Structure formats: C-alpha cells, structure tokens
C-alpha cells in the first residue's frame, strides 16, 4: 500500500493461504497512526477490533503496577490521548492483503524458492513455486524481503551474516483463553481492552491481550532452560504457568479454557547484518527481531515499509544506482530505530525498578513517546540517552562494518553467524510456526 501511494507497481508473493493464524496481536500508538494514514481507520472500526488505550505492567507480587497510556503528538508537538488496536492476526492480515490487492498489487500465491541476480550481482527477481508445483519467474527492479522469521534472503546468504540476538535463549508458548476477568472503568488505565504484562523474574513474563469481547491472547515467555527443566508438554506448561507466574494473572484467569492450539516459538531473537543492497531490502522480522515484550514487531515492519517506499521511488528514478549499497542510508535509519528499542528492552530487564521510575517520574512523557514508537524521523527523546547511560552503552554509527553487530545484554562476539550453524536448514520456519 505504501508503494502504491508512490505510484510503484508491486507483486506480493505469499506462500500461505489467508486467513491464517499468526502471533503479534497488540499494536503500538504509532502503528495505529500508520493505519489511519493508510486510510484504514474505518475498516478497523467496522471490523470491531478491541481498542487499546495503554499497557499495564504488573510486578511479581501482582499488586504493584505501572501504566503507559497510548498518546500521540499533534503538529505542535503536544501529546493527546488516542487509542490503537489489538488484532486477531488472521482477520487483520487478510484485510491488509485484500486491501493491498484492491489498491493495485498483484498477488502470487506460492513460495519464493530462489533469488535471481543480474550480471552485476544485483537481485533482479525470484523463482516462485506455485501450489500445483509449477515454477514462476518474477522479475523485479527491487525485491523486498518481508518473509518474517523465515529470513528468506539471509538464509540464502544474499545479506550479511545472521547473528543470534540478545534474547535467543528464550522460548514463547502461547494460545488464547475464552473467559477472563478484565478491567472495566472509564479511565485509560482501566480500559477493558488494554495489554497487560505480568513480570515474574528476569526474562520470565506473561502477556494478556484482548482479541474480542470474550477471547484473550495469553502467552508465557521464559528462558528455554526453565521450560526444559519442567519436562512438561507445551500445553501443560502453559496452563500451569498461567496460574503460577503471577497472582494477579491467576485472579484474571479463574478457569482456563483454551480457545486456540498452543503454539511455540523458540530462539526468536536475531539480527541480520547488511540487510539492504543492490536490488534488495529486508523489512520487518526478515532482518531483526529483539524481544516481543512491548509489542513493537508489527509497528517496526509497517514503519520500515513506510520509510522504504519513497526511497525505492528515488531508486527507480535513478538515485544511488552506482553505489555499492543504494539503500545504505535507509538501512542505517532502520538500524538506529531498532537499536533504541533494544536499549529500552535491555534496560527494562537489567534494571526493572529504575525503568519503572522513568515511567512514573521525570521521563513520563518521553517514555510515552518511546512506547508509542516515536523513535524514527529524527525524533530524539532524552529518554534514549538515559537508557544508554544506565546501561553504560555507547552506540556509534561511523563504521558500517561494526554498527549492526548485536550488542545486547548477552552479546558474545565469539558466536558464529546463525547460517553457519548446522541446526538451521531451509524450512526452519515451518518448525518455528508449527511448534
Ligand atoms: C512471542 C511473540 C509475541 C509477539 N507479540 C507481538 C505483539 O503483541 N505485537 C506486535 O506488534 N508484534 C508482536 N510480535 C512480533 C510480530 O509477530 C512480528 O514482528 C510481525 O508479525 C512481523 O511482521 P513481518 O511482516 O515482518 O513478518 P510476518 O508477519 O511473519 O509475515 C511474513 C510472511 O511471509 C510469508 N513467507 C515467508 N517465507 C516465504 C516465502 N519463501 N515465500 C512466500 N511467502 C513467504 C509468511 O507466510 C508470512 O505470511 C511477537 C512476536 C513473538 C515471537
């Protein structure tokens, strides 16, 4: 849709038949703004998606909590209350796909299997395997890898190396429940459709995201070693944890009646270096995913798409054709944005009490900005410097060969790039999503 706005013709290659289950259901405030900018507010309202007014984070005792409201900034820079949405991805993704096609994109239902390159080594298209087994060649001036955790271009070594991220030893186990006790008040912090996060201990937490008037998405994230120690099935683990993890979560889920299969995603944290180059760009999860705790994934994917469209238009008109990486500036913009999110999340895990103080005291408004996703477009929140000071971390962007190597809290420079690991083979994504 962003490409269509620039007058660029596009072909979408999608291997799955929509609607299909997907995780990633809570949107940030700025993600809601992007949907409004695309003219989709009326569709979102008509589809009845729950309206999120903020996120509440409960401490381990289930009594203490802090709340960050959804607020946007107007043209004068003043904050105002706004809501964003919680989405059932099967419905939301289908709506987006249908809308993109209605706005002119061609849809090819098939799996991209090979990359085409031209005589200069630039990406020039894809080979797609169609449902009936036939192969289709799609030529393109630019290939955008939006393949999510399948990391299509990185797995085929078109990009730089793929590294493990800071939260690679985590596992997420999730489903949906039919009955729960939700807030019910007039103020933003008591809105029944807010996201709730329950903290148990470092790297161990749970989410509660309303999907309609009855059903709530629930998930437990924990160190993979903790899960393996329990020697339980994923379903038994999830059900037991939902009552053991935090007293407030137990209160809200008196009877756990699952309304969806139990899904698992391990090792979701990674980063691809050199994710833009001649004739290609990676967008969203296809180049980096840090940690799901504050629901930035969909926003980052959509924001990167918005940022990419005018850059691609310039390229099609001749900009940067002679450069080794015509999209280097765009790549740096994306990298700097996610670096901020990584620093924020790292600080939350390393110093949760200090983080809560930032939310409640002097940096309240800036934390509202960061939670909404105001991290691009030269928006320099003073909170970012605070995160880095407290983490004793410096970010430099002078040396392109260095800046995109992960420096998260468990960074280990000795780690081999993921694509050199024997365990990763083509088709990994099937395993990831089926659990
Ligand atoms: C546990 C967990 C919880 C999360 N919670 C949230 C949340 O609350 N809010 C949020 O915003 N984000 C959340 N996320 C992140 C969110 O799921 C992703 O960031 C988001 O879906 C990324 O979008 P994407 O477009 O990059 O990739 P995806 O949404 O994964 O889309 C990739 C698409 O590419 C297709 N594809 C892949 N390979 C090929 C191929 N070879 N050929 C053709 N098609 C292909 C796939 O079928 C898929 O439809 C969470 C993530 C995890 C792991």
Q: Please give the residue that has the higher pLDDT: either 186 or 433.
A: 186
Q: Which of 217, 235, 266 is the last residue of a domain?
A: 266
Assigned domain for 25 exists: no
Same domain, 219 and 353: no
Same domain, 123 and 243: no
Same domain, 211 and 349: no
In degrees and rounded to multiples of 5, residue 323 shows phi and psi of -80, 150
Same domain, 224 and 298: no
pLDDT tens for residues 85-94? 999 999 999 9
Assigned domain for 242 exists: yes
Six token digits for residue 29 = 């405030």
Distance from C-alpha of 357 to C-alpha of 162, rounded to nearest angstrom: 35
pLDDT of residue 434: 27
Assigned domain for 13 exists: no
Task: Please tell me the total number of residues recorded for the chain in this structure.
Answer: 435
Q: Which of 266, 293, 309 is the last residue of a domain?
A: 266
Assigned domain for 32 exists: no
Same domain, 376 and 254: no
Q: Is the CB–ligand 1 distance for residue 301 below 6 Å?
A: yes
Q: Is the CB–ligand 1 distance for residue 32 below 6 Å?
A: no
Closest-lying ligand 1 atom to the alpha carbon of residue 110: 43
Q: How far is the CA of 285 from the centre of ligand 1 (A)?
A: 6
- The CATH number of the domain holding residue 229 is 3.30.9.100
Six token digits for residue 53 = 């007014």
Q: How far is the CA of 66 from the centre of ligand 1 (A)?
A: 28
State the pLDDT confidence band at 377, using cuts at 50, 70 and 90: confident
Same domain, 228 and 216: yes
Assigned domain for 352 exists: yes
Q: What domain count does the chain have?
A: 2
Q: Which of 266, 301, 321 is the last residue of a domain?
A: 266
Q: Is the pLDDT of residue 399 over 80?
A: no
- What mean pLDDT is predicted for residues 423-432? 35
Same domain, 220 and 197: yes
Find out whether 282 and 301 touch, Cβ atoms under 8 Å. no
pLDDT tens for residues 199-210? 999 999 999 999
Distance between start and end Cα atoms, the chain:
31
Q: How far is the CA of 270 from the centre of ligand 1 (A)?
A: 13
DSSP for 226-280 reads HHHHHT--HHHHHHHHHHHS-HHHHHH-SS--B-S--EEEE---EEESS-EETTE
State the pLDDT confidence band at 421, using cuts at 50, 70 and 90: very low
pLDDT of residue 111: 98
Same domain, 182 and 109: no
Assigned domain for 244 exists: yes
pLDDT tens for residues 27-55? 999 999 999 999 999 999 999 999 999 99
Six token digits for residue 197 = 């996060």
Six token digits for residue 429 = 């994504």
Q: Is the CB–ligand 1 distance for residue 14 below 6 Å?
A: yes
Give the global pTM. 0.94
DSSP classification of residue 285: G
Q: Is the pLDDT of residue 379 over 90?
A: no
Q: Is the pLDDT of residue 126 over 60?
A: yes
Q: How many CB atoms lie within 10 A of CB 20?
A: 12
Assigned domain for 1 exists: no
Q: Is the CB–ligand 1 distance for residue 297 below 6 Å?
A: yes
Q: How far is the CA of 148 from the centre of ligand 1 (A)?
A: 5
Q: Is the CB–ligand 1 distance for residue 187 below 6 Å?
A: no
- What mean pLDDT is predicted for residues 350-371? 92
Same domain, 302 and 253: no
DSSP for 85-151 reads EB--HHHHHHHHHHHHHHTT-EEEEEEEEEEEE-TTS-EEEEEEEETTS-EEEEE-S-EEE--GGG-
- The CATH number of the domain holding residue 373 is 3.50.50.60
Structural domain of residue 135, as residue ranges? 91-167+268-434
DSSP for 319-371 reads TTTTSS-TTHHHHHHHHHHHHHHHHHHHHHHH-HHHHHHHHHSTTHHHHHHHH
Same domain, 427 and 337: yes
Same domain, 360 and 247: no
Closest-lying ligand 1 atom to the alpha carbon of residue 174: 1
Same domain, 342 and 407: yes
Residue 147 vs residues 57, 287, 307, 429: alpha-carbon distances, Å: 31, 9, 18, 10
Closest-lying ligand 1 atom to the alpha carbon of residue 13: 43
3-state SS, residue 401 = helix
Q: Is the pLDDT of residue 314 over 60?
A: yes
């Amino acid at each position: 849709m962003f490409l269509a706005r620039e007058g660029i013709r596009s072909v979408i290659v999608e291997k799955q038949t929509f609607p299909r289950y997907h995780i990633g259901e809570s949107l940030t405030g700025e993600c809601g703004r992007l949907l409004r900018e695309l003219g989709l507010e009326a569709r979102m309202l008509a589809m009845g998606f729950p309206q999120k007014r903020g996120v509440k984070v409960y401490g381990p005792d289930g009594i203490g909590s802090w709340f960050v409201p959804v607020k946007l900034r107007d043209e004068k820079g003043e904050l105002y209350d706004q809501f964003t949405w919680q989405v059932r991805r099967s419905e939301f993704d289908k709506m987006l796909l249908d809308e993109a096609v209605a706005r002119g994109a061609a849809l090819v239902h098939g799996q991209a299997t090979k990359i085409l390159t031209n005589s200069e080594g630039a990406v020039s298209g894809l080979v797609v395997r169609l449902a009936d087994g036939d192969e289709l060649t799609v030529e393109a001036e630019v290939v955008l890898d939006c393949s999510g955790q399948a990391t299509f271009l990185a797995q085929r070594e078109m990009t730089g190396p793929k590294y493990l991220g800071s939260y690679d030893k985590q596992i997420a186990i999730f489903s949906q429940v039919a009955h729960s006790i939700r807030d019910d008040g007039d103020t933003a912090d008591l809105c029944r459709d807010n996201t709730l996060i329950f903290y148990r201990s470092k790297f161990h937490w749970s989410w509660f995201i309303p999907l309609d008037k009855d059903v709530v998405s629930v998930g437990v994230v924990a160190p993979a070693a903790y899960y393996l120690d329990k020697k339980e099935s994923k379903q038994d683990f999830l059900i037991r944890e939902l009552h053991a993890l935090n007293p407030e979560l137990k209160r809200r889920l008196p009877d756990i009646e699952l309304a969806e299969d139990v899904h698992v995603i391990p090792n979701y944290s990674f980063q691809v270096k050199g994710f833009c180059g001649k004739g290609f760009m990676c967008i969203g999860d296809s180049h980096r995913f840090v940690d799901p705790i504050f629901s930035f994934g969909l926003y980052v994917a959509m924001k990167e798409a918005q940022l990419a469209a005018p850059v691609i238009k310039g390229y099609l008109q001749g900009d940067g054709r002679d450069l080794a990486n015509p999209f280097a500036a765009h790549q740096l913009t994306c990298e700097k944005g996610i670096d901020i999110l990584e620093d924020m999340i790292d600080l939350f895990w390393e110093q949760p009490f200090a983080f809560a103080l930032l939310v409640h005291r002097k940096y309240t408004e800036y934390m509202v900005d960061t939670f909404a996703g105001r991290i691009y477009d030269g928006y320099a929140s003073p909170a970012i410097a605070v995160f880095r000071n407290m983490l004793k971390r410096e970010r430099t962007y002078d040396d392109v060969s260095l800046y995109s190597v992960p420096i998260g809290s468990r960074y280990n420079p000795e780690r081999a790039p993921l694509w050199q690991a024997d365990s990763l083979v083509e088709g990994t994504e099937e395993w990831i999503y089926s659990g």
